[in-house]
Amino acid sequence: MARALFDAASGWARAKGRSRLRGPFTLDSKGEVGVLIQGFDSPPRIGMPHNKPYVGPLIESAGLAKAKDFYAWWYTSGHIDERTRKIAERTLQLPNVRVRPMELRHFRREVDIVRDVYNSAWAGNWNFTPFTSDELEIVATEYKMFVDPEIALVGEVDGKPAAMCFAIPDVNEMVKDFDGELMKRPLHLAKLLWRLKFRRPRHARLMLLGVKEEYRASHKYGTLAAALYVEVARRGAARGYVGGELSWTLEDNVMINRGIERMGARRYKTYRVYEKSIA
Mean pLDDT on 62-89: 93
The region that residue 96 occupies, defined by phi over 0 for left and psi between -120 and 50 for alpha, beta otherwise, is alpha
Q: Are residues 88 and 209 in the same domain?
A: yes
Question: Residue 181: what pLDDT?
Answer: 64
Would 127 be classed as within a structural domain? Answer: yes
Which residue, 209, 240, 242, 243, is CA-closest to 226? 209
Q: Are residues 64 and 191 in the same domain?
A: no
pLDDT tens digits for 228-275?
Answer: 999 999 999 999 999 999 999 999 999 899 989 988 899 999 999 999
Q: Are residues 46 and 131 in the same domain?
A: no
Q: Give the domain extent around 19.
A: 2-69
pLDDT tens digits for 85-108?
Answer: 999 999 999 999 999 999 988 988
Would 37 be classed as within a structural domain? Answer: yes
Specify which residues 22 forms β-bridges with: 275
Q: Are residues 26 and 162 in the same domain?
A: no
Question: Residue 29: what pLDDT?
Answer: 67
Q: Are residues 96 and 162 in the same domain?
A: yes
pLDDT tens digits for 133-184?
Answer: 788 777 777 778 788 999 999 999 999 999 999 999 998 888 877 776 666 6
Measured from the Cβ of residue 96, the count of other Cβ atoms closer than 10 Å reads 11
Q: What is the pTM of this model?
A: 0.91
Would 85 be classed as within a structural domain? Answer: yes
- The CATH number linked to 94 is 3.40.630.30
Looking at 40, 69, 98, the residue that finishes a domain is: 69
Q: Are residues 41 and 89 in the same domain?
A: no
Q: Are residues 98 and 41 in the same domain?
A: no
Q: Indicate the number of domains in the chain.
A: 2
Q: Are residues 12 and 57 in the same domain?
A: yes
Q: Are residues 44 and 178 in the same domain?
A: no
Q: Residue 198: pLDDT band by 50, 70, 90 thresholds?
A: confident
Identify whether the C-beta of residue 240 lies closer than 8 Å to the C-beta of residue 78. Answer: no
Looking at 20, 43, 69, the residue that finishes a domain is: 69
